[in-house]
Amino acid sequence: MTKLGKLGLGLAMLSLISFVASKSILNGWMPFLWVQLGLTVFFFVLTAYFERHLLVDFFTTKTTKNGMNMGVMILLVLVVLILVNVLSIRNYKTFDMTQARLNSLSDQSIKVVKALDDEVKVRLFYQKGMEGIDQAKDRFRRAIRLYQDVSEKVTLEFVDMDEKPKLVEEYGVNKGTGLAFVEYKGRRNRVEKFDDEQELTNAMIKATREKDKIIYWAQGAGEADMADTTTREGAGLMKAPLEAIRFSVKTLNLNTSPKIPDDADVLAIVGPKQDYFPPAIAAIEAYLARGGSVLLALEPKREAGLAPLLAKMGLMVSNKFSGTAVQDISGKMVVEPKAPVIGFSASQSSELVKNISPNEYMQLKQPQALIRLTETPANITYEDLIKTYQGTVQVDSLADLENPAKIGAPSEFNVATSLKGKFPGAADGKEFMAVVTGDADLYNNLSVSQKISRDFAYNTFAYLGKETDLISIAPKDPAVTAMTLTPTKSFMMLGYVFLMPFALLIAGIVFFVKRRSA
């Protein structure tokens, strides 16, 4: 290498070191860095010019050509691998092989995500160093990936609260253990259980809603009190879950204000103890005639003057009390008057119960039967939702539950029914919707503490409010595959697990000894 070549190479290295050091110290770009970078390139080019004969000799040797061919091949393989990874990241597809679809979204969530017409931004706020935050971020990333598998419109961002204080203030974040927000077209919803599919999907739904649906909760005739959050008969604990899915709950005294407001999406009549006046009944019928949605949850012996209204819809209530029939040691049937009736979902086709497993049960305290009249309106369709256990008996009074002479044969009966169609006498073609139950306990404070009754109550209002994508998402449990070992199968398993490996070991030792002695 010539002296000029060595000098040019040395100056080029000094310029490069100076450039890298300046860039690191400044942690940014300054105009004079262009000079250092230009000098580096200039001296490298100058060195190549002075040593052009050496470079020509180097690149024309056989060894160099072979090495360059190998280098080109390696470069091409790297390029192909990079392209494959880029394409797989941008166009990935996952497959869920579990029987219970543990790694997939429910049909409700898929429907919601596919209906998005704009970007949904999901942000998780956290603070570094908080206990369990890394695990929480990992769970959240896996949960959101399921939504991203369905639509590219779902984006995820992790926000360090210490790095973006303005964003933290804007969102009103007050804890660093992990708090998520779903934002859609400027509307935001907070998510507490951010690794739960139902919470995430409902947050997306609420963000897409431009206004709240309104529930008018009837008061003034002894109904379940929406302001009562302490007693079993109250309904105050129902309010928060309903507001969480963007239902605004208002109270309405039908006897003093016998008119259903025009903005009512659902009218809820739960457990009235006194009769409604005729103007109130007329107001309910007018509301149904114009396509309204109503919940009628009644208790035994408390029709509240609603029997004629039910008859127009093709239903009646039995007005009987219930008990559970069991057999004593001698085989004689006895009734446990204080035992609740065990109910189960009957119609798996209905939006209200299709996500509730038929093997799940709820406890109802003495519900009454709903009876479909012999002649029902032709333009109304019915779906039975809950039936009692087959060992249920009905009596006219609670005292009769202890009198075997007044107890009939045990049977099952319907407790809840949904109706849809044109209300008799309606002038236009609008269809009403109704859910009628023979037990108001399904919608009181007690129901909130029991999962199945809570989900059913939650689904009732989503259904009546025509928000079926808000239907409660049932949890997914791993499917259990039972294996029954017969004597023959047990012997075969013993052979595969113990005898065959032992036989192979003996055979290996025998072959080894024979080869050594040969």
Q: Mark 283-296 as b/e (b = at least 16 C-beta within 10 Å).
A: bbbbbbbeebbbbb
CA atoms within 13 A on the CB side of 491: 2
Strands (E) in 73-225, as ranges, are 120-126, 154-160, 179-184, 187-191, 213-219
Q: 220: phi > 0 → left, psi -120 to 50 → alpha, else beta; which? A: left
The whole-number average pLDDT for the span 70-93 is: 80
Q: What percent of the chain has pLDDT over 90?
A: 16
105, 102, 197: which is closest to 151 by C-alpha?
105
> Residue 148: phi, psi to the nearest 5?
-70, -25
Q: What pLDDT band is residue 210 in, cutting at 50, 70 and 90?
A: confident
266: helix, strand or coil = strand
Helix axes 107-114 and 133-150, enclosed angle (nearest 10) = 70
**357-361, 467-471, 477-481: lowest mean pLDDT where?**
477-481
Burial of residue 147, with CB atoms counted within 10 A of its CB: 0-12 exposed, 13-18 middle, 19 or more buried? buried
Burial of residue 371, with CB atoms counted within 10 A of its CB: 0-12 exposed, 13-18 middle, 19 or more buried? middle
Average pLDDT, rounded, for the chain: 81
318, 295, 345, 313: which is closest to 456 by C-alpha?
345
Q: How far is CA 93 from the centre of its chain?
A: 21
pLDDT of 233 strictly over 70:
yes
**Do 222 and 255 contact (CB within 8 A), yes or no?**
no
Helix axes 197-208 and 107-114, enclosed angle (nearest 10) = 30
7: helix, strand or coil = helix
- Identify the bridge partners of residue 218 per DSSP, sorted by sequence position: 252
Centre a 10 Å sphere on the Cβ of residue 251 and count the other Cβ atoms it contains: 15
Report the length, in residues, of the chain: 518
> Residue 285: phi, psi to the nearest 5?
-65, -40
477, 389, 464: which is closest to 214 by C-alpha?
464
Model confidence pLDDT, tens digit, residues 489-518: 666 766 767 777 888 888 888 888 888 776
9: helix, strand or coil = helix
The helix (H) or strand (E) run that includes residue 417 is strand 414-421
Model confidence pLDDT, tens digit, residues 163-191: 888 888 888 877 666 788 888 888 888 88
The whole-number average pLDDT for the span 74-84 is: 88
Strands (E) in 361-403, as ranges, are 361-364, 370-372, 380-388, 392-395
Structural tokens at position 262: 């025009």
Q: What is the pLDDT of residue 279?
A: 93
Centre a 10 Å sphere on the Cβ of residue 373 and count the other Cβ atoms it contains: 13
The whole-number average pLDDT for the span 90-117 is: 72
Sheet with strand 187-191: strands edge to edge: 154-160, 120-126, 179-184, 187-191
Q: What is the 3-state secondary structure (H, E, C) of 272-290?
A: CCCCCCHHHHHHHHHHHHC
CA atoms within 13 A on the CB side of 54: 9
**Do 415 and 199 contact (CB within 8 A), yes or no?**
no
Q: What pLDDT band is residue 64 in, cutting at 50, 70 and 90?
A: confident
Q: What pLDDT band is residue 450 in, cutting at 50, 70 and 90?
A: confident
Residue 357: partners with Cβ closer than 8 Å, 6 or more residues away: 345, 474
pLDDT of 385 strictly over 80:
yes
Structural tokens at position 471: 């239907």
Q: How far is CA 266 from the centre of its chain?
A: 24
Model confidence pLDDT, tens digit, residues 11-33: 888 888 888 888 778 766 778 88
216, 264, 270: which is closest to 432 by C-alpha?
264
The whole-number average pLDDT for the span 474-500 is: 64
Model confidence pLDDT, tens digit, residues 130-164: 777 888 888 888 888 888 888 888 999 988 888 88
Structural tokens at position 181: 């927000």
Centre a 10 Å sphere on the Cβ of residue 131 and count the other Cβ atoms it contains: 8
Structural tokens at position 486: 């017969």
Structural tokens at position 184: 């859609």
106: helix, strand or coil = coil
> First vs last Cα of the chain: how many Å apart?
66
Q: What pLDDT band is residue 44 in, cutting at 50, 70 and 90?
A: confident
- Alpha-carbon distance of 127 to 144, in angstroms, equals 20
Q: Residue 61 gets which letter from DSSP?
A: S
Largest distance between two CA atoms of the chain: 123
Q: Do β-strands 266-270 and 293-297 pair in parallel, antiparallel, or remain unpaired?
A: parallel
